[in-house]
Structure 1
């Protein structure tokens, strides 16, 4: 398998969504995994093998897209229609593609393991961010 192919226009927060908002520190599309930069206080794309430790820990899924300095609403917990085809019951993780999501089988050697959530159906992901701080 590979990273989920997310259609940004189909990303929708569920009724139980826990959300927050911040400015984009780079171009971000809906469905991408983000972290909040401690330096700029802006959202950036999370990446499981980044040289920057804080970038390895996703904190949410962007619910809308935006360019530098535009507001991004992101979901931290709850159900989300992710805009991609999921395998029910499968756990999904932060990938080594900035902002990407992949199944555990695609978390490669040297990548840091960060759970995004579990698939409740073929379209709904139950977000449950967990970061081990351990590389695979």
Structure 2
């Protein structure tokens, strides 16, 4: 699996960003995809996670933090993801916890969850959509 190589310091909310604040339930780095656990904390989403909850990203972390620390996530709108994108390509949740990858790198047994579509080489329009279908 080839995930985006994200520079955490370059992750920034963009036009129309909708954000949400909460607490990290694990160590999280800016640019990683997260889900909201039943205890209300954010943890790393994973396309081949054990449950639909883990496989359903709620957003992308805008800052890093360890368990119990405050975190802000972006749920929709444009985001400068801190990685090199290919314009027009749709990006998905990967089987690396918190990772994001292009469709070509979603493997067998992983669930399809769209994270967003690249508008340019740096900006992604977030469009979170979990299919519930595995490859």
Q: Is TM-score (shorter-chain normalized) higher than 0.5?
A: yes
Provide the C-alpha distance between the structure 2 equivalents of 1:67 and 1:57, rounded to a whole number of angstroms.
21
4+ runs of 1 displaced by more than 3 Å? Answer: none
Provide the C-alpha distance between the structure 2 equivalents of 1:53 and 1:78, rounded to a whole number of angstroms.
24
Matched, 1:13 2:13: yes
Q: Which residue does 1:31 correspond to in 2?
A: 31
Instruction: Name the count of aligned residue pairs.
Output: 135
1:51 to partner: Cα distance: 1.0
Q: Secondary structure at the match of 2:54?
A: helix
The alignment yields a C-alpha RMSD, in angstroms, of: 0.8
Q: Secondary structure at the match of 1:114?
A: strand
Q: Secondary structure at the match of 1:49?
A: coil
Q: Secondary structure at the match of 1:9?
A: helix
Q: Which residue does 1:74 correspond to in 2?
A: 73
**TM-score normalised by L of structure 1:** 0.97
Q: Which residue does 1:115 correspond to in 2?
A: 114
**TM-score normalised by L of structure 2:** 0.98
Q: Which residue does 2:88 correspond to in 1?
A: 89
- Deviation per residue, 1:49-102 (Å, 9 max, x gap): 011320000010000000111011000000000000000000000000000000
Q: Secondary structure at the match of 1:133?
A: strand
